[in-house]
Structure 1
Amino acid sequence: MKPHPISYYFICLVLLCTTGMSAQSYIGATTDHYSGIHGVILNPAYIVNTPYRVDINLASASALGGSDYFAINVGDILKSNGGFDFDEDVDKFPKDDNNFFFNADVLGPSLMFNLNSKSSFGFSTRARGFLNLNNINGQLYENLEDGFDNSQDFNFNLEDFVGKVNAWGEIGFTYARTLIQTDKNIFAGGITLKYLMGAGSAFFNTPMLSGQYDATSNTLSTNGSLSYGLSHPDFSPENIKFNHLTSGFGADLGISYQWNEQNADGINPESYIPYKLKLGVSITDIGSINYKNGEVTQYDMNNIVDADIFDEDDFQQVLEDYYSGETTSRNIKIKLPTAFHLMADYHIKNNFYASINGDFSLISSKKHKVSHIINNFTLTPRFTTKWFSVYSPFSLREYGNFAWGFGFRAGPLMVGSGSALSNLISNNSKSTDIYVGLKVPLYL
């Protein structure tokens, strides 16, 4: 069977993640007070009062993917010597409303530097991709992917079924400044203005689609409608290319507060002021990209078809050949995955810290023209010095996922994963992520 282009794209990316490829980026690293330019991803206010004079990112990449439909035993993959079969060797948990997610974030040449003792500037380049598939019937998905089982009838109802793939680039300009400073307290604010370059988007949704598979006649009957859209006719979720880019604008906003460990009056104004407690609040990814040559096809799904056609053609071709549809050209606005972030970082003693942060989507999963992150709550203890940090984040992720990871920063290199340890010890990992980065730090 030729798979649905979006589900095929997702499976390929998940396999890359689980074999060695953060939604959330650089989990554990962005809350470190040595995060530098990577701190703007979480909160633009974090580049003020840092231990850096200049921090230059050469290249960094982060990816996170998972689902509540399947679970993977990483140990089985490592023991398989390349013989791991995704269809046969994973545990599957089909239900009426399964969900899939994937987020990739590549931070290109970027830097931050201090303008003076109270303000900092940052410049960043990023390429990002999101996939969300929500409220899909797991049994239907399995049959579409693996072929229909001729021995078993089943019924399904898809309510608020939504899928979307979005890819874009960013050029960001960040300014952060100390707003209020007393002996023991520092309030700061920051803003990142982003020029967006949309590579494209594909999306589909249905408010209600019901159906039945008849094993005796090997037919699939469906009732309802399905809307399928592309940001431009040539966009392919299987082969995303960053050409023919469409412009847009976005912004991140953040504030921070820190309670100092010593009076600021006793410290050189050009020096970093250590804190006992630091708090942050931010909203990221405000904005949208407008595509002028989009296409949306509304399909009437009231039909009975031979199930074997799903083994012969991909799902998009099946729609075109067996269901009546009306295509309209229109302008399509794709919004960014707006999210709300809370963070607290506490200096325990000496070089030991612990941070707590929560990431919450401000976008409903029912929206089909906008991607969204998964809600996430993370506790990260760490040991950190100027040239070295090691941290181990513990996360609770949406769809019932627990993740335990490990990461480190050693001079210019940072490597980590928010789920590496839980993936190794768990028999049914439902999400995985990894990141790596190379930078040039110049300390105060």
Structure 2
Amino acid sequence: MSAQDHFSGIKNSNKVGILSISTNPAELSNLGNKYDVNFFSFSISASNNKIGFKDLINSNNNIEELIFQGNEPVNLRIDAEIYGPGFAMKHNKWAFGITTKSYIKGNLVDLDPQLGKAIIDGNTSNILNSTLLKSDYNQRLNATTWGELGFTVARNLFENEKHKFNGGASIKLLFPGSYANIGIDKFQGKLDYRLNGTSPTAYLSGVNTQLNIAYSENLANSKDYTKSLFGTLNGMALDFGINYQLKDKDSYKLNAGIAIKNIGELTFKNNNNSSTNYTLNIPTGTITSPGLDLSLFQNVTSIKDAENTLLGTPYLTKKQSETNIKVKLPSVFSAYADFKVVSKLYVSIFTQQKIGNDNENNQITSQNVTSITPRFSLKNFEVFSPWANNEISGTTGGFGLRIYGLYFGSSSIITALTSDTKQADFYMGYRLGLR
């Protein structure tokens, strides 16, 4: 999957390897060597719609103060893919591959900045005021980790001197690790800062909303969801793709394809898991009963602590609870075309469009991305510069290199140094092709 267009630039290289499967399983038929071995690779990305690179450097405020400024809903994605050992081979018209991966994802989805600031600040505000809050969507705080063992098969369907068509599919066995979700659906209410002793305290009142609180058992008393990247086998996913090449004497004039990826779901299955739907009903505040004191959450260290804090108030009513948590993978449709402009110079166009709805409580998030990447490619050396428009962070521009089997790069390093980009990412890996 490419939740944030991971490995941008290198995965569309004409030096096809195991990494190309992440774009389209049909690309495996284009392996440049009979065998391909992946030793390691990783990609990590953080993007948001609030904090620019210059903000972090020039501001004396902490990240919470920066991200909850203004009135625009907060969207933040922290995303990582880690490839373990992998192997691929070609045999006649067939190609086969085995991959291992781990995923780490953390998200804020359409979070009201005034509500987020009040929860973070608690009773540190110096201003007495009131604010009306209203949203027409499901605000979410979500985190997921899981592992994957993938098996890919691709076949050359037709080939002559000028044209080549390939098809491919991947079946992926999923190993759920950790999961946490807080969803606040169609929230509206009133936020009051009132005196509590000598300092103003944030109170929430006039609320009637639906609340989902879910977590896997390993997060019941912990906030570190990265401790478990691989759980037990409990899920399956499929990828499908087709590929076309307009050939020339060296390689191709055009390489294009479409794919649908991550059709499937994870199941977190444990008697100590918890996924509960609540009704949160807080009456309009009065002088004697101002509402829910948000400073109660300042010492919360886990999602279960937050749930227990709410259960200790008279405002929460349980509707439905279960221990099996089913989570949809971030299904996406992707399409790309790689053009040879002149000898050794290529330009790739890529787009990824999500199929799921990020506001659903059981949906792992993804982003819509469109990118263009000019690339200068030799047999043992490659340099490229991906430029993209991302749904969350806007425009990004980066730079990357491949030297033999070693590759590294960033899809945002140029805009980070020259403008106020809202994304930071880096990837690196090593693979070996064998005749």
Q: Same fold (TM over 0.5)?
A: yes
Unaligned runs of 5+ in 1: 1-21, 263-272
1:205 pairs with 2:183: yes
Which of 34, 39, 45 lines up with 1:53 in the alignment?
Answer: 34
Please say which of residues 250-259 and 219-228 is displaced more in the overlay: 219-228
Do the aligned partners of 1:246 and 1:291 also contact (CA within 8 Å) in 2?
Answer: no
Do the aligned partners of 1:401 and 1:430 also contact (CA within 8 Å) in 2?
Answer: yes
Equivalent residue of 2:30, what SS? coil
Inter-CA distance 364–250: structure 2 relative to 1 (3 Å threshold): same
Give 1:35-184 correspondences, 5 Å limit: 35-73=16-54, 76=57, 85-87=62-64, 90=66, 93-116=69-92, 118-148=93-123, 149-151=125-127, 152-158=129-135, 159-184=137-162
Please say which of residues 250-259 and 42-51 is displaced more in the overlay: 42-51
Q: Which residue of 1 aligns with 2:4?
A: 23
Name the aligned partner's letter for residue 309 of structure 2. V
Q: Residues 5-61 of structure 1, C-alpha deviation per residue, up to 9 Å, x if partnerless?
A: xxxxxxxxxxxxxxxxx7221111111111411000111111212322222111100
Q: 2:33 & 2:232 partners in 1: Cα distance? A: 35
Name the aligned partner's letter for residue 164 of structure 1. N
Q: 1:108 & 1:308 partners in 2: Cα distance? A: 43
Q: 1:334 & 1:87 partners in 2: Cα distance? A: 28
Task: Please state how far the C-alpha of 1:360 moved relative to its aligned partner.
Answer: 0.9
Q: 2:278 & 2:363 partners in 1: Cα distance? A: 21
Inter-CA distance 311–203: structure 2 relative to 1 (3 Å threshold): closer
Which of 299, 307, 320 lines up with 2:311 in the alignment?
Answer: 320
Inter-CA distance 226–92: structure 2 relative to 1 (3 Å threshold): closer
Give 1:24-423 correspondences, 5 Å limit: 24-73=5-54, 76=57, 85-87=62-64, 90=66, 93-116=69-92, 118-148=93-123, 149-151=125-127, 152-158=129-135, 159-217=137-195, 218=201, 219-221=203-205, 222-232=207-217, 234=219, 236=222, 238-240=224-226, 241-242=228-229, 244-262=231-249, 274-293=251-270, 294-303=273-282, 304-314=291-301, 315-322=306-313, 323-326=315-318, 328-399=321-392, 401-423=394-416
% identical aligned pairs = 28
Do the aligned partners of 1:190 and 1:253 also contact (CA within 8 Å) in 2?
Answer: yes
Q: Residues 341-383 of structure 1, C-alpha deviation per residue, up to 9 Å, x if partnerless?
A: 1000001111100000001111111221121211000000010
| TM-score when normalising by structure 2 | 0.86
Task: Please state how far the C-alpha of 1:233 moved relative to its aligned partner.
Answer: 6.2
Do the aligned partners of 2:181 and 2:215 also contact (CA within 8 Å) in 1?
Answer: yes
Q: 2:126 & 2:233 partners in 1: Cα distance? A: 46
Instruction: State the superposition RMSD in angstroms.
Output: 2.3
Q: Residues 111-140 of structure 1, C-alpha deviation per residue, up to 9 Å, x if partnerless?
A: 222112x22111100001222322211122
Inter-CA distance 387–233: structure 2 relative to 1 (3 Å threshold): closer
Unaligned runs of 5+ in 2: 196-200, 283-290
Task: Please state how far the C-alpha of 1:325 moved relative to its aligned partner.
Answer: 4.2
Q: Which residue of 2 aligns with 1:7?
A: none
Do the aligned partners of 2:21 and 2:28 also contact (CA within 8 Å) in 1?
Answer: yes
Do the aligned partners of 2:29 and 2:154 also contact (CA within 8 Å) in 1?
Answer: yes
Equivalent residue of 1:34, what SS? coil
Q: Tell me the number of residue pairs that the alignment of Structure 1 and Structure 2 aligns.
A: 405
Equivalent residue of 2:10, what SS? coil
Inter-CA distance 237–191: structure 2 relative to 1 (3 Å threshold): farther
Q: 2:275 & 2:13 partners in 1: Cα distance? A: 44
Name the aligned partner's letter for residue 324 of structure 1. L
Q: 2:399 & 2:122 partners in 1: Cα distance? A: 39
Q: Which residue of 2 aligns with 1:15?
A: none
Do the aligned partners of 2:96 and 2:151 also contact (CA within 8 Å) in 1?
Answer: yes
Do the aligned partners of 2:131 and 2:191 also contact (CA within 8 Å) in 1?
Answer: yes
| TM-score when normalising by structure 1 | 0.85
